């Protein structure tokens, strides 16, 4: 399955550069690019965009995103998924996780879910 990632505006631009370098055929867009939500767009509107265009949101937003997702689902809406980057992982480790997920995913596997990275392994305490 080929996932499509939308990086929110607070995700370091190096993620897009490195993901495209490693997986040039993976669709990776960032908020603020043409045809994506503009910078400053509120999270609920970004979720609507992701639903309409079938993109998984990649974000650092651990605090309010669960609330926004719950409100989105309460309106009988859906989302392909939300991946939350892990600040305890290096950028390279987070990128490896995103690539692993893209390579190993099934159709609708992350529908209406928030996935906290790492997904493929556990961090040691």
**CA distances for 29 relative to 33, 46, 70, angstroms:** 7, 13, 24
Confidence of residue 111 (pLDDT cuts 50, 70, 90): very high
> Structure pTM?
0.93
- Per-residue pLDDT reduced to its tens digit, 68-84: 999 999 999 999 999 99
For residue 122, the model assigns a pLDDT of 55
Residue 60 burial (CB < 10 Å; 0-12/13-18/19+)? middle
Q: Which of 51, 103, 58, 90 is nearest to 73 (CA)?
A: 51
Confidence of residue 119 (pLDDT cuts 50, 70, 90): confident
CATH architecture of structural domain 4-116 = 3-Layer(aba) Sandwich (3.40)
Long-range contacts of 45-51 (CB under 8 A, 24+ apart): 46/6, 46/8, 47/72, 47/77, 47/79, 48/72, 48/77, 49/6, 50/6, 50/79, 50/80, 51/77, 51/78, 51/79, 51/80
DSSP H/E element including 30: strand 27-30
């Amino acid at each position: 399955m080929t996932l499509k990632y939308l990086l929110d505006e607070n995700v370091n631009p190096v993620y897009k550069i490195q993901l495209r370098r490693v997986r040039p055929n993976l669709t990776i867009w960032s908020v603020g690019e043409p045809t994506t939500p503009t910078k400053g767009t509120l999270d609920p509107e970004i979720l609507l965009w992701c639903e309409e265009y079938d993109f998984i949101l990649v974000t650092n937003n651990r605090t309010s995103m669960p609330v926004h997702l719950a409100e989105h689902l309460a309106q009988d809406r859906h989302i392909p998924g939300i991946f939350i980057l892990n600040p305890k992982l290096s950028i390279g480790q987070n990128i490896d996780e995103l690539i692993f997920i893209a390579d190993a995913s099934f159709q609708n596997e992350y529908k209406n879910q928030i996935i906290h990275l790492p997904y493929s392994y556990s961090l040691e305490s």
